[in-house]
């Protein structure tokens, strides 16, 4: 069985001589070879523009402002999505080339290691974002006793480091292979040296990379929603908590979108593991898992270009900040900024 996935492609230890005997849907694969590259490039283009826009709003204001704690996490999530998207054009060309990898062994390892690292980075950032909202809304007094901004910066640095470490097995075991039994001369796959690696892989991918973070996300967001419902039942002074409520609405939407987009991939990854362990067998399951992983990949890809759209649709504060940045970047705004700077310099010179 061969599983062709940019997130975690692999081959069984010894592909059987009749490896193609279960390919009962060649017309479906032929359609995928034609359609998927165009879809991937479209997703990549939208995600590239969207995440660059988000980062520009957060990081490039003309009037230097410190990012809030929520904005630190959201900027890192946009950066993670951006890095993830940069690896997709390579896989678009790989699929267009009918899974013949044309970019060499080094890029096979680097591109797929980068994609794997950001699989972990994204979900760990979602956990960190949920935990921060939990502290602010459920334990507001305790959250004021520690430097949240410094904690957010340290957490993001640790998450990027941890994601890089968890991608090391992909760097090590990914590589170029020749598979004459599948009529493939140069293919980029994950070759696992022993059956035990399948168990280690599923623990890393599904348990550490999804199930445990999912438990934490559900816990934090359950208490966040409970806190919001309790506050809604008690009359609040006008304007009280409005900013926090807007930020929380955006973050809850991002969390829900993330889980909906990534759950199919992890479900099919688990089915793939069960197939490798011979728990489920047969041509139906082989074709179902191979094709299902291709479809599940695209739900995961879509999440990276969906987040910027959610920032605009749900994030009212983000829209306000984007509009302010736009006004500052217009000729009138630039002229006003230059005049303000000139007046300030003149004032300093006069005082000296």
Please choose, from the candidates 260, 284, 257, the residue with its C-alpha nearest in 3D space to the C-alpha of residue 271.
284
**CA distance linking residue 320 with residue 323, whole number of Å:** 5
**CA distance linking residue 133 with residue 226, whole number of Å:** 12
Angle at CA 306, nearest 5°, toward 313 and 101?
Answer: 165
Please report the pLDDT score of residue 155 as a whole number: 95
**CA distance linking residue 188 with residue 94, whole number of Å:** 9
What are the residue ranges spanned by the domains of the chain?
2-230+241-326
Please report the pLDDT score of residue 219 as a whole number: 93
253-280: b or e for each residue (b if 16 or more CB lie within 10 Å)? bbbebbbebbebbbebbbbbbebbeeeb
Block means of pLDDT (10 residues each) for the chain, 352 residues, are: 57 39 68 85 91 86 72 92 90 86 90 90 92 86 76 95 92 83 77 77 88 92 86 58 66 88 90 84 85 85 86 76 75 52 41 40
Q: Are 205 and 269 in contact (CB under 8 A)?
A: yes
The dihedrals phi and psi of 7, each to the nearest 5 degrees, come to -80, -40
Please choose, from the candidates 246, 255, 248, the residue with its C-alpha nearest in 3D space to the C-alpha of residue 226.
248
Query: Which residues share a beta bridge with 3?
Result: 10
3-class DSSP state of 166: helix
Q: Are 293 and 224 in contact (CB under 8 A)?
A: no
What sign does the CA torsion over 262, 264, 265, 267 have?
positive
- Look up residue 280 and give its two tokens: 């489920």
Please choose, from the candidates 30, 44, 162, the residue with its C-alpha nearest in 3D space to the C-alpha of residue 95.
30
Please report the pLDDT score of residue 48 as a whole number: 92
Please choose, from the candidates 122, 112, 119, the residue with its C-alpha nearest in 3D space to the C-alpha of residue 171.
112
User: May I ask the CATH architecture of the domain 2-230+241-326?
Assistant: Up-down Bundle (1.20)
The dihedrals phi and psi of 227, each to the nearest 5 degrees, come to -65, -40
Q: Distances from the Cα of 217 to the Cαs of 131, 159, 237, 249, 258, in angstroms?
A: 8, 16, 30, 15, 11
Q: Are 148 and 39 in contact (CB under 8 A)?
A: no
DSSP conformation letters of 52-115: HHHHHHHH--SS--PPPHHHHHHHHHHHHHHHHHHTHHHHHHHHHTTT---SHHHHHHHHHHHH
- Look up residue 72 and give its two tokens: 């630190």
Q: Is 23 exposed, middle or buried (0-12, 13-18, 19+ CB in 10 A)?
A: middle
DSSP 240: T
Each residue's pLDDT tens digit, 170-221? 888 888 888 776 677 788 888 877 777 778 888 888 899 999 999 999 999 9
Please report the pLDDT score of residue 128 as a whole number: 93
What sign does the CA torsion over 275, 281, 287, 292 have?
negative
Please report the pLDDT score of residue 236 as a whole number: 54
Query: Which residues share a beta bridge with 11?
Result: 2, 191
Q: Distances from the Cα of 30 to the Cαs of 8, 36, 91, 181, 287, in angstroms?
A: 22, 10, 16, 19, 14
Indicate left, alpha or beta for 241 from its phi (over 0: left) and psi (-120 to 50: alpha). Answer: left
């Amino acid at each position: 069985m061969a599983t062709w996935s940019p997130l975690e492609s692999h081959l069984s230890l010894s592909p059987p001589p009749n490896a193609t005997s279960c390919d009962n849907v060649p017309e479906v694969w032929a359609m995928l070879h034609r359609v998927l590259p165009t879809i991937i490039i479209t997703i990549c283009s939208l995600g590239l523009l969207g995440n660059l826009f988000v980062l520009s709003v957060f990081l490039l204001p003309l009037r230097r402002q410190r990012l809030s704690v929520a904005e630190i996490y959201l900027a890192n999530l946009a950066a993670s999505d951006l890095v993830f998207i940069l690896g997709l054009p390579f896989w678009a060309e790989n699929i267009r080339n009918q899974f013949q990898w044309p970019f060499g062994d080094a890029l096979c390892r680097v591109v797929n290691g980068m994609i794997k690292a950001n699989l972990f980075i994204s979900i760990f950032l979602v956990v960190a974002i949920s935990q921060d909202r939990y502290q602010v809304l459920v334990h507001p007094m305790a959250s004021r006793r520690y430097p949240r901004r410094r904690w957010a910066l340290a957490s993001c640095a640790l998450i990027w480091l941890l994601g890089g470490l968890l991608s090391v097995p992909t760097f090590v075991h990914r590589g170029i292979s020749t598979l004459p039994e599948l009529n493939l001369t140069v293919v980029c796959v994950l070759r696992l040296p022993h059956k035990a690696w399948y168990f280690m892989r599923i623990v890393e991918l599904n348990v550490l990379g999804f199930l445990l973070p999912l438990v934490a996300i559900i816990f934090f967001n359950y208490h966040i929603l409970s806190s919001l419902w309790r506050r809604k039942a008690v009359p609040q002074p006008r304007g009280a908590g409005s900013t926090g409520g807007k930020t929380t609405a955006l973050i809850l939407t991002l969390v829900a979108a993330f889980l909906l987009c990534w759950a199919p991939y992890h479900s099919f990854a688990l089915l793939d593991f069960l197939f490798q362990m011979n728990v489920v067998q047969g041509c139906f399951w082989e074709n179902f898992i191979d094709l299902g992983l291709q479809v599940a990949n695209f739900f995961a890809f879509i999440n990276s270009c969906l987040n910027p759209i959610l920032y605009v649709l749900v994030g009212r504060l983000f829209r306000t900040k984007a509009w302010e940045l736009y006004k500052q970047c217009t000729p009138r705004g630039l002229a006003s900024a230059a005049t303000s700077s000139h007046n300030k310099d003149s004032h300093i010179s006069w005082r000296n």
